[in-house]
């Protein structure tokens, strides 16, 4: 059997309510999907994280390396793509294009072998993965604090046991927001904060010190992803665990982040950092540094399914009788692509989502929705 085609399809949805975070505003959600089709008509789905048009160009550049190949040789194909990209893109969107093709090939391989991707990754340790709600972005609201409180209470009522909120607008504003949300959800729900690298080291330190009494489970991307020394220093000077890595790529990138002891939690994005092939290796490397990974996930049901399969195979560290749960990000911001493009829909119950059991990733794209979103929603 051979890979006959690699299709790159950009899907787009205009948001009903634009939202922003510390770096820029979103008016629309846009993703580049990849469909890898074998000569017998079998297919697998993948997606890349990053500017969709650029991911698409990358997929089209790399596709000839996969076409004509045996679809079971996923890691060999990965190596060919990586070598072809290495001279131009040791990190960045071309790696996201590799990731998108790689995920599609894992899905295809699972379908051809009649096995869920988690089985091919080494076998799941759990049937349900703990998820945390990502939301609490900023909107043009007269009452931002009230809006954040209401949204956080909604996630708590839905059963989430962990919630992540955006910060990075400035220490005083952020403090007001975090205090209000913590008070609204009570002490029993885990709360995390994400600055999307908007702080300087001194700001991050001042902020961290003031939120330490609020029981924050991790402080995500406090500093520029280029500031490895800053991460290391901040981590030594606050009791809040530091998380990061969604802007990091490939094993070599994570080696730098981990060997410099920058983070307590590494957050590779499977759709950007090198696909399932490479993030499995990153997880192994992280375990050698006694660092847990909680993958970044901000895409459609394809990205989320890839995350569920991978996280279901992780061994949380340190090993112990009463093991802490491995966790995955579950974006709750407005995203019709995530909610309607793929089937079946993922349901969160009491803070957990079941890992699909069907062969491959266990999700399929609805052709009617695909046609609609490929035309711009």
Active site residues: 296
Q: Shortest approach of Ca ion to residue 324 CB, angstroms?
A: 21
Q: Among the candidate windows 1-9, 57-65, 172-180, 188-196, which touches Ca ion by CB under 5 A? A: 188-196
Interface with Ca ion includes 194 (CB under 5 A)?
A: yes
C-beta of 47 vs 221, nearer to Ca ion: 221
Query: For Ca ion, which stretch binds (CB under 5 A), given 169-177, 194-202, 257-265, 357-365?
Result: 194-202
Shortest gap between Cβ of 68 and Ca ion (angstroms)? Answer: 38
Q: Which stretch binds Ca ion (CB under 5 A): 72-80, 83-91, 192-200, 337-345?
A: 192-200
Nearest CB to Ca ion, comparing residues 194 and 278? 194
* Contact window for Ca ion (CB under 5 A) among 5-13, 51-59, 187-195, 197-205: 187-195
Report the nearest approach of Ca ion to the CB of residue 267 (Å).
7
Interface of this chain with Ca ion, residues 84 to 103, rule: CB under 5 A? none
Q: What is the closest distance, in whole angstroms, from the C-beta atom of residue 231 to Ca ion in the complex?
A: 14
Contact status: 248 vs Ca ion (CB under 5 A): no
Contact call for residue 269 and Ca ion (CB under 5 A): no
Comparison of 194 and 248: residue with beta carbon closer to Ca ion: 194
Residue 329 Cβ vs Ca ion, minimum distance, rounded to whole Å:
8
Three-state secondary structure string covering the chain:
CCEEEEEEEEEEEEEEEEEECCCCEEEEEEEEEEEEEECCCCEEEEEECCCHHHHHHHHHHHHHHHCCCCCCCHHHHHHHHHHHHHCCCCCCHHHHHHHHHHHHHHHHHHHHHCCEHHHHCCCCCCCEEEEEEECCCECCCCCHHHHHHHHHHHHHHHCCCEEEEECCCCHHHHHHHHHHHHHHHCCCCEEEEECCCCCCHHHHHHHHHHHHHHCEEEEECCCCCCCHHHHHHHHHHCCCCEEECCCCCHHHHHHHHHHCCCCCEECCECCCCCHHHHHHHHHHHHHHCCCEECCECCCCHHHHHHHHHHHHCCCCCCCCCCCCCCEEEEECCCCHHHHHCEECCCCEECCEEECCCCCECCCEECHHHHHHHHCCC
Q: Which is nearer to Ca ion, 132 or 228 (CB)?
A: 132
State the residue number with the nearest CB to Ca ion: 194
For Ca ion, the closer CB: 102 or 194 = 194
Q: How many residues bind Ca ion (CB under 5 A)?
A: 1
Residues that bind Ca ion (CB under 5 A): 194
């Amino acid at each position: 059997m051979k890979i006959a085609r690699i299709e790159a399809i950009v899907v787009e949805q205009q948001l009903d309510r634009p939202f922003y975070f510390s770096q820029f505003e979103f008016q629309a959600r846009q993703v580049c999907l990849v469909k890898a089709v074998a000569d017998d008509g079998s297919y697998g789905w993948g997606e890349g994280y990053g500017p969709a048009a650029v991911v698409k160009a990358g997929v089209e550049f790399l596709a000839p390396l996969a076409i004509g190949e045996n679809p079971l040789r996923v890691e060999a194909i990965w190596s060919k793509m990586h070598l072809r990209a290495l001279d131009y893109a040791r990190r960045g969107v071309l790696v996201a294009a590799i990731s998108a093709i790689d995920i599609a090939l894992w899905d295809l391989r699972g379908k051809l072998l009649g096995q869920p991707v988690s089985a091919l990754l080494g076998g799941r340790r759990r049937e349900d993965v703990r998820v945390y709600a990502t939301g609490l972005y900023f909107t043009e609201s007269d009452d931002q604090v009230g809006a954040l409180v209401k949204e956080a209470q909604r996630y708590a009522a839905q059963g989430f046991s962990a919630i992540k909120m955006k910060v990075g607008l400035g220490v005083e504003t952020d403090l007001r927001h975090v205090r209000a949300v913590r008070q609204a959800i009570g002490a029993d729900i885990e709360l995390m904060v994400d600055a999307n690298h908007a702080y300087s080291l001194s700001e991050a330190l001042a902020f961290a010190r003031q939120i330490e009494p609020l029981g924050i489970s991790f402080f995500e991307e406090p500093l520029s992803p280029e500031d490895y020394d800053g991460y290391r220093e901040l981590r030594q000077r606050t009791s809040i665990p530091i998380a990061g890595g969604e802007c990091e790529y490939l094993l070599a990138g994570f080696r730098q982040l981990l060997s410099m002891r920058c983070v307590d939690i590494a957050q590779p994005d499977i759709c950007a950092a090198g696909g399932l092939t490479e993030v499995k290796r990153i997880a192994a490397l992280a375990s050698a540094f006694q660092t847990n990974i909680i993958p970044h996930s901000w895409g459609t049901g394809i990205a989320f399914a890839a995350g569920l399969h991978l996280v279901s195979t992780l061994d949380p560290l340190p090993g112990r009788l009463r093991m802490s749960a491995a966790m995955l990000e579950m974006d709750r911001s407005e995203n019709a692509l995530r909610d309607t493009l793929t089937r079946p829909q993922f349901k969160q119950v009491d803070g957990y989502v079941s890992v699909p059991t069907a062969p491959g990733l266990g999700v399929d794209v609805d052709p009617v929705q695909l046609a609609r979103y490929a035309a711009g929603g």
